[in-house]
Amino acid sequence: MNRLSEIIEGLNAIAPQETKEPWDNVGLMVGDLTQKIESVYVCLDLTTENVREAIDLGADLIVSHHPLIFKPLYSVTEEDPIGSMVRAAVKNDISIFSMHTNFDKAEGGTNDLLAKKLGLEHIREYTEAECVDANGTPFSPIGRVGFLPVPLTMEDFLIKIKSVLGSTALKYTGDLSDEVRCVALCSGSGGKEGIYSAFHSGADVYVTADLGHEHARSAFELGLNIIDAGHFETENTICEFLKNFFETNFPEIQVFVSSAKPFYSNF
């Protein structure tokens, strides 16, 4: 039977905790390193629904992408959603472990998974020279650049994204007839920094999520097409990855996968 410490050692081997962004919180959120793990529940987000499902399934461990505890907790109460989930995990002897920006950066992590899901080839990381803003200020190289095997129009690429990611609606800038061959991407919230990385990489389009008016304006001024494919949709690939990870490396552990859907719906 595997102890939690052994599982964490395996997860850290693919996404070392020290590679996280300075503002991030990753690793063991709740738990005991000596705990014996027989079943694990994998998910993108720690939500009341997911924690309840993990409890109902009898899971010993939850492994998530987004961390349960992101900001300091000054109290742990039932009235607070985070506190309530912490209390539920402790009462049901469930450990919680999260891999966030360290897995975004990792080889084979969320960005590589997204790139492969979109069918890109010759996938690479950003260079340091590409990760600078308009003033030349450097920032972290989170994301990937790759090429479609055959060029597509923006319209056909949007159709492809909806098909492979299950996105129910996409926001984009540019003309539907524009040609797409080189694609830059960042799973989750790419933000303004990611737009500059994509621009400097020479990409035809930048795929990410959580884009707003300011991002669209910046991309328009740079002449870069952008696509908002949804935060959940661009990162939920971690569930399939973790399922395969546990089945390969810890075959005696039962794996449950979250059945959660994206928070946003379209009317």
One-letter identity of residue 221: E
Q: How far apart are CA 67 and CA 221, in angstroms?
A: 35
What is the residue whose two structure tokens read 């990760």? 131
The predicted pLDDT at position 13 comes to 98
Other Cβ atoms closer than 10 A to 66:
18
Q: Which long-range contacts (CB under 8 A, 24 or more apart) does 262-266 make?
A: 262/168, 262/230, 262/232, 262/233, 263/232, 264/230, 264/232, 265/168, 266/168, 266/169
pTM for the predicted model, two decimal places:
0.94
Q: Which of 139, 129, 119, 152 is nearest to 225 (CA)?
A: 152
Q: Are 16 and 104 in contact (CB under 8 A)?
A: no
What sections of the chain are H helices per DSSP?
4-14, 48-57, 81-91, 101-105, 110-117, 154-165, 191-201, 213-222, 231-235, 237-249
Q: Which of 229, 222, 157 is nearest to 186 (CA)?
A: 229
The predicted pLDDT at position 177 comes to 97
Q: What is the mean pLDDT of each run of 10 residues along the chain (267 residues)?
A: 96 97 96 97 97 98 97 94 97 98 97 98 97 90 97 98 92 96 96 93 97 93 95 96 98 96 78
The predicted pLDDT at position 62 comes to 98
Which of helix, strand or coil describes residue 241?
Answer: helix
Helix (H), strand (E) at residue 206: strand 205-209
The predicted pLDDT at position 265 comes to 74
Give Rg (Cα) of the chain: 19
Other Cβ atoms closer than 10 A to 45:
18
Q: Which of 144, 65, 128, 139 is nearest to 101 (CA)?
A: 65
Phi and psi torsions of 138, nearest 5°: -75, 155
The predicted pLDDT at position 267 comes to 67
Q: Are 200 and 129 in contact (CB under 8 A)?
A: yes
The predicted pLDDT at position 192 comes to 85
All structural domains of the chain, each given as residue ranges with its CATH number in brackets, are 2-103+236-257 (3.40.1390.30), 107-228 (3.40.1390.30)
